[in-house]
Amino acid sequence: MHSKNIVAIGGGGFGRSLGSLEIEKYITSLIKKKRPKICFIPTASGDSSLYKLNFYKAFSKLDCITSHIDFFSRTENLEEKVLNQDIIYVGGGNTKSMLAVWKEWNLNEILRNAYEKGIVMSGVSAGAICWFEKGISDSYAEELAIIDCLGIVKGNACPHFDEEKEREPYVNDVINRELIKSCICIEGNCALHVKNNIDYSSIDFGNGKKCYRVFKENNILKKKIL
């Protein structure tokens, strides 16, 4: 029986600065072998070259076998590529556009199979919320929105909870209006590690950074540290 892991990062990591690679070390430590194979999927940033470069710098330092998937130049055999990895890392950017492209290429189903096989799923921002049923996304220029995601993990998620001032009021509002029942909110420099879809732990790689569950109980809004 494979252990199933998702590491959802609220913000920060190699995309911002290489730094001490704390969360990257944590992700690679979940694979108990030398030189794990990790594949970067930077769809949400439109396959940004600089982002890919930072990925290669970061994970080469951690002695990983690195590769990436492009959708905006020739795209390789996705099933073969994904199922041959130990870890998938999804970059940040526009979640809605990313999911639309994935669906067109059936990558959503391939990632689900990879997760079931025990390949570690991870990512930041768009790459954090995509695994949940729904995510709070800034894909639209005007305002935040609740968007449907892959649904591999139960529940709803919001990244950048302490980094972008509109996040918390928006989450409180949609829960008050009962558009969603609850939301897992992840601060920057913090990650949520979901193991086997039941075990939730918060990984602080900043300075006292946290994950919260925001929900309503007896008509009162509550914010509980995970």
Quick: pLDDT tens for 120-171.
Answer: 999 999 999 999 999 999 989 889 999 999 999 999 999 999 999 999 999 9
pLDDT at 18: 85
> Is residue 125 flagged as an active site residue?
yes
Q: Which residue has the tokens 């993990």?
A: 153
Q: What's this model's pTM, rounded to 2 decimal places?
A: 0.96
> Is residue 67 flagged as an active site residue?
no
Distance CA(44)–CA(62), nearest Å, equals 24
CATH number at residue 36: 3.40.50.880
Mean pLDDT, residues 47-62? 96
pLDDT at 64: 98
Helix (H) or strand (E) holding 61: helix 49-61
Range of the domain at 197: 5-225
Catalytic residue, candidates 122, 160, 193, 202: 160
What's the pLDDT tens digit per position in 210-225? 999 999 999 999 999 9
Find all residues with CB under 8 Å of 97, minimum gap 6, and list them.
Answer: 43, 44, 139
Catalytic residue, candidates 125, 137, 139, 202: 125
CA atoms within 13 A on the CB side of 59: 26
What's the pLDDT tens digit per position in 55-109? 999 999 999 999 999 999 999 999 999 999 999 999 999 999 999 999 999 999 9
Instruction: Work out how many domains the chain is built from and give that number.
Output: 1
Residue 19: pLDDT over 90: no
